[in-house]
Structure 1
């Protein structure tokens, strides 16, 4: 059997896309772990499974690099959005995810001629049991110092629907990753606070309409970017007055995206806009053992590298402020 796959990325968050008509035909966790190995064509952060849906144009499932399944992935959804929209020759669609049916749409490019799509991010909850997270019988953690985590970082817990712990930090915590790595490893191991783990993002305010975000992603580790984390970070930054604009540019190690944030009391409308880059088309032979039959690279990554250079120039000042 030959499997047709695409290697793709959103903001440097790299995935394989595979479309199936039968979700029971394979152990997707096992396949995801194999595909994401670093010594296997450079690895990836996850497998995006595209399947039939009765309530959307398609269904997306997200298999992390460790074989676990995530409820959503904003960067991955942009890539699936492009795959589905181009296949059906449409500019917008509804795609089913684990916890919501979300609108996706083709957008004007955020940089040069890079293919760009927007995705709705929902649902949003600040009830910490939605993560789940447990801390001193609290129902919410909103811009609070948590002494067990750090004495100089204000944290907010939110699910979108993936679980996120967002910390607003000074530049030293961006330059030096050790604190974030220690805390993230603790909260994604055996711990009393987040039994299922949590995505941990450190956010550095740049100006009134831009932030820098670095994320330790549950089931993956440090990533170039995490779509739901960037959106959650933009939402928290907006609510707490870190930014004042409704359209927030979010820089990250993989480049940048734009997040549209609207909130009125407990009503939130979030949209993530960014690249959907197709890196390669691949064939995997599964007859006896998994072997790559062919790998055909595209030229799209060259265009994206220009965006990375631009983002590096815009964020260089972070490393001069400590």
Structure 2
């Protein structure tokens, strides 16, 4: 089975052309291909599929085999993949995801896609949309993890996030505490957790623990959630580019006053490969 390894700011996935169908169990394949050191290695797999309502459809599966609704870094790589593999000649694309339709603007130079801007749609703070078990919007709301009180802001970017501000994000042992946030009973569908340091009004630093994957080098929807949280909490400004620095690189996020979000960042191809796998139809 042919695949392409790609990453967006170090958030690396294994991309598979499934325009003619999915001849395997994607949940199982993700758990087989994703382990580092023992297989191809990555944060999961991304299937590029045909769509009846958009240019293409993206399905993504975390390294534990669970299917995710949306990944901002992965969708940029999908745009690069379909253009550079001559599956489209369009520089503006609509991609179907489990969290809705997303519009991509591809930035081309010398025939290659160097970066992509994604219209991520409108963020939601409504508890039932995230979901979070709260009566009102969960903004700088105290909650306890392992006996420690944290203050979090819950945001949906089509998937659930909670943003926590700290002065020191680099001493955290996310491998130890991350799952306690992910599986916190306040979040019935689990949650992605962003640990954010505010540098100034236009720059944030962030680490992320993603549900189903653990700590990753970057999370596009997480960077968007951090920017949304930062404007509503007064740390950053609306309609102003916000640089979110992650382990793997920097994403630029703009949030308008209606909480519509646009994200711009790189998309990088690493290599093409072939994986020996006994296919089983989904």
The question of whether the paired residues in 2 share the 8 Å contact of 1:92 and 1:104 is answered with: yes
Work out which of the residue numbers 199, 205, 210 in structure 2 matches 1:212: 205
Q: Which residue of 2 aligns with 1:36?
A: 34
Structure 1 residues 58 and 198: CA distance shift in structure 2, 3 A: same
1:174-225 Cα distance to aligned partner (Å, 9 max, x none): 12113x5555312333x42222210001110111211001000000001101
State the shift of 1:15 in Å: 0.3
Residue 281 of structure 1 pairs with residue 272 of structure 2? yes
> Which gives a bigger RCO, structure 1 or 2 (Cα 8 Å, sep 6+)?
2
The question of whether the paired residues in 2 share the 8 Å contact of 1:29 and 1:67 is answered with: yes
Residue 74 of structure 1 pairs with residue 72 of structure 2? yes
1:158-307 matched pairs, under 5 angstroms: 158-171=155-168, 174-178=169-173, 183-189=177-183, 191-244=184-237, 246-263=240-257, 267-286=258-277
Q: Greater helix percent: which structure?
A: 1
Stretches of structure 1 that go unaligned for 5 or more consecutive residues are: 290-322
- In structure 2, distance between residues paired with 1:34 and 1:11: 23
The question of whether the paired residues in 2 share the 8 Å contact of 1:20 and 1:50 is answered with: yes
- In structure 1, distance between residues paired with 2:219 and 2:176: 19
- Secondary structure of the equivalent of 2:36? coil
Residue 98 of structure 1 pairs with residue 94 of structure 2? no
The question of whether the paired residues in 2 share the 8 Å contact of 1:10 and 1:276 is answered with: yes
Stretches of structure 2 that go unaligned for 5 or more consecutive residues are: none
The question of whether the paired residues in 2 share the 8 Å contact of 1:144 and 1:155 is answered with: yes
- In structure 2, distance between residues paired with 1:288 and 1:21: 16
The question of whether the paired residues in 2 share the 8 Å contact of 1:63 and 1:69 is answered with: yes
Structure 1 residues 162 and 287: CA distance shift in structure 2, 3 A: closer
Alignment length, in residue pairs? 275
Work out which of the residue numbers 116, 137, 141 in structure 1 matches 2:138: 141
- In structure 1, distance between residues paired with 2:159 and 2:144: 24
- In structure 2, distance between residues paired with 1:31 and 1:44: 12
- In structure 2, distance between residues paired with 1:84 and 1:31: 22
The question of whether the paired residues in 2 share the 8 Å contact of 1:134 and 1:193 is answered with: yes
1:19-66 Cα distance to aligned partner (Å, 9 max, x none): 113545210011111110112356100111110001111000010000
The question of whether the paired residues in 2 share the 8 Å contact of 1:164 and 1:200 is answered with: yes
- Secondary structure of the equivalent of 1:8? strand
Structure 1 residues 34 and 148: CA distance shift in structure 2, 3 A: closer
- Secondary structure of the equivalent of 2:7? strand
The question of whether the paired residues in 2 share the 8 Å contact of 1:21 and 1:51 is answered with: yes
Q: Greater strand percent: which structure?
A: 2
- In structure 1, distance between residues paired with 2:192 and 2:167: 19
The question of whether the paired residues in 2 share the 8 Å contact of 1:100 and 1:123 is answered with: no
State the shift of 1:108 in Å: 6.9
- In structure 1, distance between residues paired with 2:25 and 2:155: 31
TM-score by length of 2: 0.90
Structure 1 residues 155 and 149: CA distance shift in structure 2, 3 A: farther
- In structure 2, distance between residues paired with 1:154 and 1:19: 42
